[in-house]
Structure 1
Amino acid sequence: MKWRRASAGQNPPDHEVAQSAADHLAQAIRVATVTPPAGPLSEADQATFDALRAMLEAAYSQVFDVATVETVGRAGLLMRIPGAVAERPVVLMAHQDVVPVPADWRAEGWEHAPFDGVIADGWVHGRGALDDKGALVVLLEALDALLAEGWRPARDLYVLLGADEEQHGASAVAAVDLLESRGVEPWLVLDEGGAVAVDAFPGLKAPMAVIGASEKGIATIELSVTADGGHASTPPRQSAPGILAAALVAVESHPFPGALHPLSIEMFETVAPHLRGPMRLALSRARSLSGVLVRLLPRLGPELAAMVRTTAAITMLEGSPAQNVLATRAVATVNCRIAVGSSVAKAVDHLTRVIADPRVAVSVVESSEPSPVSPTGEDERWQALVAAVGESYPDAVAVPYVMLAASDARHVARIAPAVYRFAPLRMDRAQRAAIHGPNERVAIESLGRGVAFYRALLTGDALGPPSR
């Protein structure tokens, strides 16, 4: 694994470039493209996504003038910018939609109205600043500027902007189906995922550019118990909610078995030279000490715990419809993130075994398996990403990792051999906690570096003509 530095990236990003990205991001945030419910778009939702498209067309006229633009799914956009050759095309991705905000957003703790797109004190504030309009804007900002300078891609370039990533990514699925029907086999795909994380690893002072080379699977699993109903004045010895509660305690008391995937071993061994003391020694020998690390890492926090095992989060509960009525059915939803190397079937088997109660039905509502692992090390696509990080964040350590969340990238993996997940934005611990929460924000300076990342990636040798 190489850690590249580049002198061109050591200077602060151009102020005008960063401010332009900030202004455009603020405009995009003000268009509240909350993920629409399943089914056909309502007139209001259609108008909202049309408004965002109009804003993007005005801000990035070079891109929309050169590209062939198609609507995929309900409101996704698939843009093709023709290159000198069509072989080994590149797909760059982001998504337009954002998660909702409570009506009483002040009570949730927001300092600025979530959809006002406030620029203050060097930051852009608002829902989507990080997930994922910030990454969308820096991508288009770089591409638009390059096209204005007369640059054209050496190979076909596709830009896929999903519209429902926060709800299973139907527009991305439609785009992949369309590309597959046309025989398009992407050589490199880059979507959101990791970031330039600050304070993400114990003992590491440098920022860590975590690039997802795979992502966990996801399964929505329902636990349900049925029982006789009746009046609450004569409760049974065991009720449906009581039986379900015992099952939930069992789930949380018996974590999934841990294992250290080779991709995680590569991450730890890459980080090790930048640490000191016992942690450096342990991680430099991650392969031989994998059993020790599997026991140690969960004690250092939930992020590290999630790296070594399938996780199960209890998210939704349902019981009686009234306070004085016995529940005839009690239901809990468990959100499982399936470790790479495991499977949805193994997750169901584990839950069934630890619950050990035939009265609790375990059923899969929806699921997707873990994504294939994309190449790292000396592969030229991986090296292109590492080099672009070096140009834009020269102080960062670039490492591969297994992405813990789900992205639209998982849908593209079936037609592409190299799919990566990385948003070139700096995020500290508070910012990472604000994703899907209050006070989501991104630094203007980081937006400038994000633009520099995409410029470096698009103009680098690896994305040149395939004959090189």
Structure 2
Amino acid sequence: MSDAPSERSASEADSAAGSMAGSIDRFRRLVRIPTVSRIDEAQTDWGQFDAFIAALPQLYPATHAALEREIVGGHSMLYRWAGREDGPPTVLMAHYDVVPATGEGWTRPPFSAEVVDDGDGDVIWGRGTLDDKGALVSILEAVETRAAAGFRPRHDVYLSFGHNEETTGAGAIAIVETLEARGVRPALVLDEGGAVVEGVFPGVSKPAAVIGVSEKGITTVTLTVDQQGGHASTPPRLTATARLARAIVRLNARPFPARFSPTNVEMLRTVGAHAAGPMRWALGNLWLTGPLMLRVFTRLSDETRAMVRTTQAVTQLSGSQAANALAERAEAMVNVRIAVGSSVEETERHIRSAIADPAVRVEALLPSEPSPVSPTTGAAWELLSRTVRQTFGQDEVIVTPYVMLGASDSRHFTRISDHVYRFSPFEMSGEERGTLHAMNERIRVESWLRGVRFYTTLVGEL
């Protein structure tokens, strides 16, 4: 009789371990499917996307029994979980396309989904573990758990899984158009975005859960020089490539102006209440210290610098087709992330002014303005904040709004909802954040499982 409690505990522990192992196995299986999206869709291997879609009903049978699924915009997926009563729904978002990875320079093959103990715990390696299959599979694990237990949400819950977030976002746009045509106005939309981070804010030792209430605009600006070509043995004083190089140097020498947006101010005041020493006073009195703190943020790190200004980065260059021929066209692609409070028009005007050369043609491609700012009060914000604290520790984490530096599919949902938020419920170190769209992308198993708990708790509140 005295052994019974320990036997039950052992049985429960075995069951929990088996459940975790099953979750991890499903995650790894989906990471192994190389759903790489490309700007030129003719180069996309759609068979891999079909395989991903086909795998989900096998891996998540309770989800596919309880929810309706439709394919939208070619390969994006929209699920509807019918609620018990009428009311504004919730949309949980993620995308399953990933950026390319050749394997060159990777410590582990990018689509092997290897689990490696690095001395501090198990780590899952692979493209998409952070961006964004980690969130997608966490959502499915949470819904599967709840659906298998017979749970049904109070109001409708939609799962929106985009297939080309990394390129055009056309799948998410099609989903928004579908929901809009049906009169759906979500009370909450949650997509990828901020994470639980440490060491970002000066003087603050506690981890901060940064929830995106807006996101920067995005556009690719082309700088083009068209000029007479010819043999490279008789070059003019200023070739097309040299003129383009001069334009790039001038642009880099004239960064966009730095300023704190209202969301920046709220973020700094929130985290500042937990800062140590003089930094607590400095962050709590921005009316006085604002200019000094702005200079600090422009120098502290790449992340803090990007928080307070529009950024530009030259990502692609093209010129002559031969080593001994002058370029008749030289072109640079500049990826621009537009600060909240600015605009595409202001961005183009700044670039033209910085370059100061009418021979360099400036053109914005696929421009997207900064997103509207979602409120940091009300039921949706309180639900997210409460769920974060329940998952990461009531007194262990600071919950703060911020402006997301990248772009996500959620920006399209601002057409149909005033409560669009961006948060990936994972703890990410600076090094791990640096693997996004880069080599050696990976996620800690413990962090990913905590993300599953976040979504499981959130779903239970819907």
> TM class, shorter-chain normalised?
over 0.9
Question: What is the CA distance between 1:275 and its match in structure 2?
Answer: 1.5
Give the equivalent residue in structure 1 for 2:66. Answer: 66
Pick closer, same or farther for the CA change 1:17–1:423 going to 2, 3 Å: farther
CA contact (8 A) 2:410 2:420 kept: yes
Give the equivalent residue in structure 2 for 1:3. Answer: none
Letter aligned with residue 445 of structure 1: E
Cα distance in 2 for partners of 1:445, 1:419 equals 27
Give the equivalent residue in structure 2 for 1:95. Answer: 95
| Deviation string, structure 1 residues 375-413 (Cα, Å, up to 9, x no partner) | 10x322111111111111112211110000000001111
CA contact (8 A) 2:194 2:209 kept: yes
Confirm or deny that 1:237 pairs with 2:233.
no
Please state whether the residue corresponding to 1:94 is helix, strand or coil: strand
Give the equivalent residue in structure 1 for 2:29. Answer: 27
CA contact (8 A) 1:391 1:452 kept: no
Give the equivalent residue in structure 2 for 1:7. Answer: none
Cα distance in 2 for partners of 1:458, 1:311 equals 36
Give the equivalent residue in structure 2 for 1:181. Answer: 181
Pick closer, same or farther for the CA change 1:240–1:268 going to 2, 3 Å: same
Pick closer, same or farther for the CA change 1:17–1:344 going to 2, 3 Å: farther
Question: What is the CA distance between 1:270 and its match in structure 2?
Answer: 0.8
Letter aligned with residue 36 of structure 2: V
Letter aligned with residue 437 of structure 1: A
Confirm or deny that 1:391 pairs with 2:390.
yes
Question: What is the CA distance between 1:198 and its match in structure 2?
Answer: 2.9
Cα distance in 1 for partners of 2:53, 2:452 equals 20
Letter aligned with residue 112 of structure 2: D
Cα distance in 1 for partners of 2:355, 2:43 equals 40
Cα distance in 2 for partners of 1:277, 1:17 equals 45
Letter aligned with residue 450 of structure 1: G
Cα distance in 2 for partners of 1:133, 1:126 equals 10
Give the equivalent residue in structure 2 for 1:373. Answer: 373
Cα distance in 1 for partners of 2:255, 2:295 equals 12
CA contact (8 A) 2:130 2:436 kept: yes
How does the TM-score come out when normalised to structure 1?
Answer: 0.91
Pick closer, same or farther for the CA change 1:346–1:15 going to 2, 3 Å: farther
Confirm or deny that 1:304 pairs with 2:300.
no
| Deviation string, structure 1 residues 240-262 (Cα, Å, up to 9, x no partner) | 11111111111100110111001
Give the equivalent residue in structure 2 for 1:158. Answer: 158
Cα distance in 2 for partners of 1:287, 1:22 equals 48
Letter aligned with residue 455 of structure 2: Y
Question: What is the CA distance between 1:459 and its match in structure 2?
Answer: 2.2
CA contact (8 A) 1:344 1:369 kept: yes
Letter aligned with residue 379 of structure 1: G
Confirm or deny that 1:201 pairs with 2:201.
yes
Letter aligned with residue 72 of structure 2: V
Question: What is the CA distance between 1:52 and its match in structure 2?
Answer: 1.2
| Deviation string, structure 1 residues 269-327 (Cα, Å, up to 9, x no partner) | 11112211232221112344333222221110110001111111111111111111111
CA contact (8 A) 1:128 1:134 kept: yes
Give the equivalent residue in structure 2 for 1:414. Answer: 415
Cα distance in 2 for partners of 1:295, 1:120 equals 41
Cα distance in 2 for partners of 1:447, 1:142 equals 12
Give the equivalent residue in structure 1 for 2:8. Answer: none
| Deviation string, structure 1 residues 84-121 (Cα, Å, up to 9, x no partner) | 2242110000011111112xx2x42x221111111221
Unaligned 5+ runs, structure 1: 1-13, 464-468
Please state whether the residue corresponding to 1:196 is helix, strand or coil: strand
Give the equivalent residue in structure 2 for 1:274. Answer: 274
Letter aligned with residue 80 of structure 2: R
Cα distance in 2 for partners of 1:88, 1:30 equals 36
Confirm or deny that 1:434 pairs with 2:435.
yes
Please state whether the residue corresponding to 1:413 is helix, strand or coil: helix
Cα distance in 2 for partners of 1:40, 1:174 equals 20
CA contact (8 A) 1:18 1:444 kept: no
Give the equivalent residue in structure 2 for 1:447. Answer: 448
Unaligned 5+ runs, structure 2: 1-15
Give the equivalent residue in structure 2 for 1:113. Answer: 109
Give the equivalent residue in structure 1 for 2:9. Answer: none
Please state whether the residue corresponding to 1:165 is helix, strand or coil: coil
> Between the two proteins, what is the percent identity of the paired residues?
46
Give the equivalent residue in structure 2 for 1:4. Answer: none
Aligned residues: 441
Please state whether the residue corresponding to 2:87 is helix, strand or coil: strand
CA contact (8 A) 1:221 1:366 kept: no
CA contact (8 A) 1:196 1:424 kept: yes
| Deviation string, structure 1 residues 225-251 (Cα, Å, up to 9, x no partner) | 121111111110111111111111111
Cα distance in 1 for partners of 2:385, 2:260 equals 23
- Once the two structures are overlaid, the 10-residue window that deviates more, 199-208 or 63-72, is 199-208
Pick closer, same or farther for the CA change 1:124–1:212 going to 2, 3 Å: same
CA contact (8 A) 1:265 1:287 kept: no
Cα distance in 1 for partners of 2:340, 2:59 equals 40
- Once the two structures are overlaid, the 10-residue window that deviates more, 449-458 or 231-240, is 449-458
Give the equivalent residue in structure 1 for 2:12. Answer: none
Letter aligned with residue 132 of structure 1: D
Cα distance in 1 for partners of 2:216, 2:33 equals 31
Letter aligned with residue 406 of structure 1: A
How does the TM-score come out when normalised to structure 2?
Answer: 0.92
CA contact (8 A) 2:39 2:168 kept: no
Cα distance in 2 for partners of 1:212, 1:316 equals 29
Give the equivalent residue in structure 2 for 1:8. Answer: none
- Once the two structures are overlaid, the 10-residue window that deviates more, 211-220 or 117-126, is 117-126
CA contact (8 A) 1:27 1:55 kept: no
Please state whether the residue corresponding to 2:440 is helix, strand or coil: coil
Question: What is the CA distance between 1:372 and its match in structure 2?
Answer: 0.4
Give the equivalent residue in structure 2 for 1:295. Answer: 295
* Structure 1 runs (4+) greater than 6 angstroms displaced: none
Output the aligned Cα RMSD.
1.5
Give the equivalent residue in structure 1 for 2:319. Answer: 319
Letter aligned with residue 79 of structure 2: M
Determine which structure has greater relative contact order: mean sequence separation of CA pairs < 8 Å that are 6+ residues apart, divided by chain length. 1
